[in-house]
Every structure is written in structure tokens, then in C-alpha cells.
């Protein structure tokens, strides 16, 4: 299979030097990319800024902002068999970016934020014969929130994990079906989870 994988955070700039982002290390996505290559698949990795080296043998597309991630994925997805979306996409961006560098004035400032593009939802709406695996990082009402994302984004399944996964070497995930059933569950090092998840995808989603 030829698999599109998104990984790492996105950044939304306030001015030319400051940005909104999150603490995603990209490790889960990079581990999945490595596991897919180990199993003989072609990997197209779209990565936000991380301090990791891409696994040898994958096609890498570095991005920074959510709009860059969106456009790159929309360009690449038609030539792939499916997508595994692990990227931690910023949900909001400043309505207006300040040109140059803001300086202190001694007064509070108000930052107006607007929602960013929903990249996974767009891929889900365009999937046709392709499969879509989403990731949901949740801290409150996790299963209901994950299922809401699965349905809104037209995923074939969604991987639920919690905030303890951020910047960690280990993880615990549940794979949820459209019927809200736990169809797989894995714990351990992210590299080991990635191998198990790839075997699950090969068995359950290949050829849908």
C-alpha cells in the first residue's frame, strides 16, 4: 500500500517570530511510518516541525502551518491508498498576523482567534475508495468525543489516546469502530504499538 501519514504539530503565527502550537513530539506518527516501511509499504510522510529524523525510505513533505498541511495532504491523498492522521493540528489561529515583531507597550493585548481548517474532515469527505484512520487525543469524555470526531470526519476507525501520550516514549491506545466498539487495544512503547497498529490496518482496512 501507499500510505499518507501526518505527524507532529502545526504552528500558527501571531507575528513574524511568535506562534501558537502544542507539545506534540511527532513520535507516534514517525513510529507508524517506520513500521509501515518495515512491512513493505510506501510511506508519504507530511510532518510538522519536530526534532526527529524521518525513517529511511519514506517520501517526506515538511510543513509548518495548518494551511500548508491541508494543501499538501489534499495534493497527495489521491495517489495514496489511505491516510493515518496523527498530526496534532492547531485548532485556532490568529485572525490577523502582525507583520514584523510586536514590542511591549506595558498594556494588555487582545488576541482574536478563529478556527483553522479541518484537514482530516476534508480528507474523509474525499476518501472515495480509500481508508481513513484518525487519532483523537482526549482528556474529558474521551469515548464520546472520539466517536464524534470519527463521524464528523468520516473515518473508518479512530485511535483514542490521552494527554499522557504527549512527548512520552510510551502510549496506550484504543481503536474504535463506527459502531463505537473497541476493536483493538495496545499498550507499550510507541514503536511496538505502531507495529501492532500496522498489522491491524493490513488485516481490517486493506482493500475496503
Bridge partners of 187, per DSSP, are 172
Cβ neighbours of residue 181 closer than 8 Å, sequence gap 6 or more = none
CA 40 and chain centroid, separation: 22
C-alpha cell at 112: 482574536
> Could you say which of 22, 125, 144, 154 is catalytic?
22
Catalytic residue list contains 22: yes
Which DSSP string do the residues of 82-109 spell out, in sequence order? EEEE--B--SEEESSPPSS-----SS--
Q: Comparing C-alpha atoms, which of 85, 15, 82, 74 is closest to residue 48?
A: 85
Sign of the torsion formed by the C-alpha atoms of 48, 52, 53 and 56: negative
Mind telling me the catalytic residues? Answer: 22
Amino acid at each position: 500500500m501507499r500510505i499518507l501519514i501526518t505527524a507532529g504539530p502545526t504552528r500558527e503565527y501571531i507575528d513574524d517570530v511568535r506562534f501558537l502550537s502544542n507539545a506534540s513530539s511527532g513520535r507516534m506518527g514517525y513510529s507508524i511510518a517506520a513500521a509501515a516501511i518495515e512491512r513493505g509499504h510506501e510511506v508519504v510522510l507530511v510532518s510538522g516541525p519536530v526534532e526527529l529524523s524521518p525513517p529511511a525510505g519514506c517520501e517526506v513533505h515538511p510543513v509548518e502551518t495548518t494551511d500548508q498541511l491541508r494543501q499538501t495532504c489534499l495534493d497527495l491523498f489521491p495517489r495514496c491508498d489511505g491516510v493515518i492522521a496523527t498530526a496534532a493540528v492547531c485548532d485556532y489561529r490568529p485572525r490577523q498576523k502582525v507583520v514584523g515583531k510586536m514590542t511591549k507597550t506595558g498594556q494588555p493585548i487582545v488576541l482574536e482567534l478563529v478556527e483553522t481548517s479541518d484537514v482530516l474532515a476534508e480528507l474523509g469527505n474525499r476518501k472515495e475508495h480509500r481508508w481513513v484512520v484518525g487519532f483523537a487525543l482526549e482528556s474529558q469524555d474521551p469515548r464520546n468525543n472520539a466517536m464524534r470526531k470519527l463521524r464528523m470526519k468520516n473515518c473508518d476507525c479512530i485511535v483514542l489516546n490521552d494527554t499522557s501520550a504527549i512527548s512520552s516514549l510510551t502510549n496506550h491506545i484504543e481503536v474504535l469502530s463506527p459502531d463505537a466498539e473497541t476493536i483493538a487495544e495496545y499498550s507499550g512503547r510507541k514503536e511496538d504499538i505502531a507495529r501492532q497498529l500496522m498489522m491491524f490496518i493490513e488485516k481490517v482496512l486493506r482493500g475496503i
